[in-house]
A and B are shown apart, each in its own frame.
Chain A
Amino acid sequence: MPEQRIRDRSDTYGARHAVKTLGQKIGFPRRACDELAIVVSELCSNILKYGVHGSMNIDALDGESGIVIVARDFGPAFHDLTLALKDGFDDRGPIDPMNMMKRGGIGGGLGAIVRFSHSFRVDPLPDGKSIEVIRYLKRPLPGAFGSRTV
C-alpha cells in the first residue's frame, strides 16, 4: 500500500480507513479491524503531538498472515521507552494529573498499541524514529484476559 503522509489530523482518518480495509481483506474479524484502527489512530496522534509530522506504511505480511504498520516521525527519540509504555506515564515519568487535561491525551496511547498487537519495535532514524507494529491473523492476543482470541 502506498505510504501515507501524516501531517494533519485529517490524515488520521485516511490511515484508519486504510488499515480497516486491509484488515477486512486479509480476514481479520470486525473487532480486530477496529482494534487495528485504534493502533493506527494512536500512532498518528503521537506523530502529530511529538513528531511534528511523519508518514505511515500499512501492509500485509507475507502470505497475508497479518498486518505490519510502520510509523515514521521526525521528532525526538523516546527519552525512556520503558516509562513511556506505562499507562499514565510519558517518556519522562508519571503525568501530573493536573496536566492530564491540557495534554489532550491520557498517557495511554502506547499501552493501547501494545495491548492490541503482537509486536512493537522502535528503531532510530537519522532524523527521527520508526515504530513497527505487527498483528498476526491467526494468533490470539496475549491480553489481560488470556482466553481472548483474535
Chain B
Amino acid sequence: MDSVKNIELTEVEQRILESVADALLVLANVGFGDYASRLPIDPNDNSPLTSLFAGINEMISALSAEEERSRSYQRELEEKLATIEQQKVAIQELSTPIMEVWDGVLCVPVVGLMDTARSSEMTSALLRAVVENGARCAIIDITGIDVMDTRTVDHFIRMAKAIRLLGAECVLTGISPHIAQTVVHMGLDLTNVVTHRSLRDALQQYVSRGIATSTAA
C-alpha cells in the first residue's frame, strides 16, 4: 500500500504545495484580523498560481477597506448614540421647566400631554424645587392642557395640597373650562388651592406682593 510519505513529489508539485502553505498562512492571518499581509507575487511568473495569488491579494485589500469603513461607521454611531442620550436628558429637564421668576416665586408652564407619568414627575420635581428654593409660592400654568384623566386631576389637587404643607402657596392658572367641569364634577376639595385665569394675573399678584414685602422690610 502506498502511503503519502513514500510518494516522490515532482519539483512542480513541491512548489505548488509550498505556495498553498504560504497562502493558507496569510489567509489565517486575515482571519485573525491582520489585513496587512499579502501573498508574495513574482511578476515574471505567469503561472495560474500567480493570478490566483493576485486575486487573493486584491480580495484582502477590499476586505481591509471594508473593515476600515465599518470601524468608522461604528465610531460615528457611538457618537450619535451619546448625543441622543444627552438630548434625552435635556428633553426630560425641559419637559418640566421650573423657573424662579422672582424671589421665592416658582413658575411651571406646562405644555403638551399630561399623562400619569408626567404628573408624577412634575410632583416630585416641584416638591423638590419648593424645598430647595425655599419657595413661598408655586404657580402652575396649565393653559396648554385641555385633557386630563380624572385620576390625574385628583393627583394635581393633591400635589397642590402637598405644596401647601411645605409652607408655600400653590396657584393654578389657565384652567380650561373642560378641566374646570371635570374638577367640579369630581367634587374635589379646592380649599387652599388658589386659581387665576392667566399666568399673567398670578405673576402680577405675587410679584407685586413680593416687591411690597421686600420694600417694607
Binding site for B on A (CB under 8 A): 9-10, 16, 30-31, 34-35, 37-38, 41-42, 45, 87-88, 100-101, 103-109, 111-112, 115-116, 144-145
Contacts and interface: CB of A to CB of B under 8 A. Distances in A.
B152 A106 contact: yes
Interface string B92-106: 000000000000000
A38 B117 contact: no
Interface of B: 84, 88, 113-117, 119-121, 123-124, 146-147, 149-152, 154-155, 178, 181-182, 185-186
A66 to B, nearest CB: 18
B185 A145 contact: yes
A88 B182 CA distance: 19
A45 B116 contact: yes
Given A105-B120, A112-B115, A144 B147 contact: no
B151 A31 contact: no
Nearest to B91: A10
A115 B150 contact: yes
16 contacts: A30-B146, A34-B146, A34-B147, A38-B115, A38-B149, A41-B117, A45-B115, A100-B120, A104-B121, A105-B117, A107-B116, A109-B115, A112-B116, A112-B149, A112-B152, A116-B149
Contacts of B121: 104
Given A31-B146, A41-B113, 14 more contacts: A16-B113, A35-B147, A37-B113, A38-B114, A38-B115, A42-B115, A45-B115, A101-B120, A107-B116, A111-B150, A112-B115, A115-B149, A144-B186, A145-B182
A95 to B, nearest CB: 11
Q: Is the interface of B mostly helix, strand, loop or mixed?
A: helix
Contacts of B115: 38, 41-42, 45, 109, 112
A38 B182 CA distance: 16
B149 A101 contact: no
A103 B120 CA distance: 9
Nearest to B121: A104
Contacts of B88: 9-10
Contacts of A109: 115-117
Name the prevailing secondary structure of the A interface residues. helix
Contacts of B123: 101
A31 B152 contact: no
A16 B114 CA distance: 12
Contacts of A100: 120
Nearest to A8: B88
A88 B120 CA distance: 13
A141 B146 CA distance: 17
Nearest to A34: B147
10 pairs of A and B residues whose beta carbons are closest in the complex: A108-B151, A112-B149, A34-B147, A41-B115, A87-B151, A108-B116, A45-B117, A106-B155, A106-B116, A145-B185
B152 A108 contact: yes
A149 to B, nearest CB: 12
B149 A111 contact: yes
Contacts of B116: 42, 45, 105-109, 112
B184 to A, nearest CB: 10
A108 B186 CA distance: 15
A74 B88 CA distance: 24
